[in-house]
Amino acid sequence: MLWPVAAMASPAPERVPSASVRVDGDAAGSVRLVLEGRLDAGRAGSVWGEALERARECEADPLVVDCSAIDYCDGAGASILVALRELQEARGRRLEVRGLREEFARILALIEPSGEAAPAPPSKREGLLVALGRSSLGFFAELRSLVVFTGEITVCLGRALRHPRSIRFRDVVVVAERAGIGAIPIIALVGFLLGLILAFQSAVSLQRFGAQIFVADFIGIAMFRELGPLMAAILLTARSGSAFAAEIGTMKVNEEIDALTTMGLEPVRFLVIPRVLAAVLVIPALILLMDLAGVVGGLAMFLTLDYPVVTFWNRVVEATSPGDLLGGLFKGAVYGVIVAAVGCLRGTETGTGASAVGESTTSAVVSGIVLIAVTAAIFSIVFYVLGI
């Protein structure tokens, strides 16, 4: 049986934007080489030879390449510009690239060959004012990079919340498992010892007034409101923040992050967002475990004062409120963002050399603890003003 030709015809494929190159001139007699369309790995090859041929025909010096009409450009497209520059240099002429978008310019900077580094001038002993100024500039540069990175994470998180399918949930689960389950033993041990130490130290002072029963009140308030979230965040920084910096730092040294950027992928969305989400999801459970372990440690000491368990429990319940626990969990969520963000930031700032990853890891831990302490102080002031 013969079917009608119209029935057998397949639907027309969607038209995909193509790449093209043309020579454009103006009334003043200047000549431009115009690149248009989508310069990706599948289409850049079709215009590569034509672009070089048109460049050989142009006698302009410098040769102006207009890139304002490029819709998309990856490493293959940027290679055309590199080839055009090498062609002009071989002819003893210059190349001027105009209208290239910032994200495409970053890709071009990654693959464009750079000259040999000039030898460093001999070091001279700096004066006090010069050293102070250099330190100040370094501090403000670090602050600026932190603000820029925070804004980039905020934008990516907002985009991920609007489009949940873009989140790499498998990576989130893997990171959360490493950061959460692996931290349970150290969190429980530190929480128990912290509660035990606080109970002994407070009992010594309260014994003078015959008020040792208020040890339970002190343990509950201190652990739920401040020490539980603070210690959980510090331990998360020491374990996971340093691991984030080491992982991303190693990828930076191996140029894997540059490879993601060259392929047109966002390193923040692929590497940072899963770690931030994992830290935010894990830290509430770690805080609850820290609070429970601290209360158990305080109870162990409280029993030596010949008070029953029910008395300890009643004092803790009476002295604390659900707001204390929820406030601590809210602090912990903020601490989790700080830990993950600082660790990933230090990883992306990793330099070259054998000691670069170690320096980034150390910097991540130190910066994370300092920022957590500053944030805790801000929270204390705000909560005191609000009467929380």
Q: Are residues 299 and 363 in the same domain?
A: yes
Sheet strands side by side (includes 95-98): 20-25, 31-39, 63-73, 95-98
Query: What's the whole-number mean pLDDT along residues 4-13?
Result: 42
pLDDT digits (tens, 9 = 90+) for 142-201: 778 777 777 777 887 778 778 877 777 888 888 888 888 888 899 999 999 999 998 888
Question: Which pLDDT belongs to residue 308?
Answer: 87
Q: Please tell me the distance from the alpha carbon of residue 110 to that of residue 228, in angstroms, as a whole number.
A: 45
- Any domain includes 134: no
Q: Whose CA is closest to 277, among 145, 158, 142, 365?
A: 158
Q: Using alpha carbons only, what angle is made at residue 368 by residues 137 and 200, rounded to the nearest 5 degrees? A: 135
Q: Are residues 173 and 321 in the same domain?
A: yes
Q: Are residues 283 and 358 in the same domain?
A: yes
Tokens representing residue 191 in the block? 């929480």
Tokens representing residue 304 in the block? 């030596």
Give the count of domains, the chain: 2
pLDDT digits (tens, 9 = 90+) for 24-41: 765 455 678 888 888 887
43 pLDDT more than 90: no
| Residues with Cβ within 8 Å of residue 199, at least 6 apart in sequence | 215, 218, 219, 297, 298, 300, 301, 302
Q: Are residues 243 and 327 in the same domain?
A: yes
pLDDT band at 13 (very low <50, low <70, confident <90, very high): very low
Question: Which pLDDT belongs to residue 114?
Answer: 55
Query: What's the whole-number mean pLDDT along residues 83-111?
Result: 83
Beta bridge partners, 34, equal: 22, 66
Q: Are residues 169 and 107 in the same domain?
A: no
- Any domain includes 337: yes
- Any domain includes 136: no
Query: What's the whole-number mean pLDDT along residues 207-221?
Result: 84
- Any domain includes 224: yes
Q: Whose CA is closest to 224, among 320, 338, 334?
A: 320
pLDDT band at 11 (very low <50, low <70, confident <90, very high): very low
Q: Whose CA is closest to 332, among 245, 192, 225, 253?
A: 225
Q: Are 105 and 112 in contact (CB under 8 A)?
A: no
Q: Are residues 185 and 89 in the same domain?
A: no
Selected residue with higher pLDDT from 289 and 134: 289
For the chain, how many residues are written? 388
Q: Are residues 173 and 41 in the same domain?
A: no
Tell me the pTM. 0.66
- Any domain includes 6: no
Q: Please tell me the distance from the alpha carbon of residue 340 to that of residue 277, in angstroms, as a whole number.
A: 9
232 pLDDT more than 80: yes
End-of-domain residue from the set 77, 92, 111: 111
pLDDT digits (tens, 9 = 90+) for 283-321: 999 999 999 999 999 998 888 888 888 988 898 888 888
DSSP state for residue 303 in the 8-state scheme: G
- Any domain includes 233: yes
Alpha carbon of residue 37 to chain centroid? 32
End-of-domain residue from the set 95, 111, 127: 111
Residue reference for tokens 């055009």:
84
Segment (H or E) for 204? helix 184-206
Question: Which pLDDT belongs to residue 2?
Answer: 42
Question: Which pLDDT belongs to residue 248?
Answer: 86
Give the domain range for residue 39. 20-111
- Any domain includes 143: no
The Cβ of residue 69 has, within 10 Å, a number of other Cβ atoms equal to: 12
Q: Are 333 and 284 in contact (CB under 8 A)?
A: yes
- Any domain includes 381: yes
Q: Are residues 323 and 194 in the same domain?
A: yes
CATH number of the domain within which 65 lies: 3.30.750.24
> What is the average pLDDT value for the chain, to the nearest integer?
81
3-state secondary structure of 37: strand
| Residues with Cβ within 8 Å of residue 289, at least 6 apart in sequence | 184, 187, 188, 191, 232
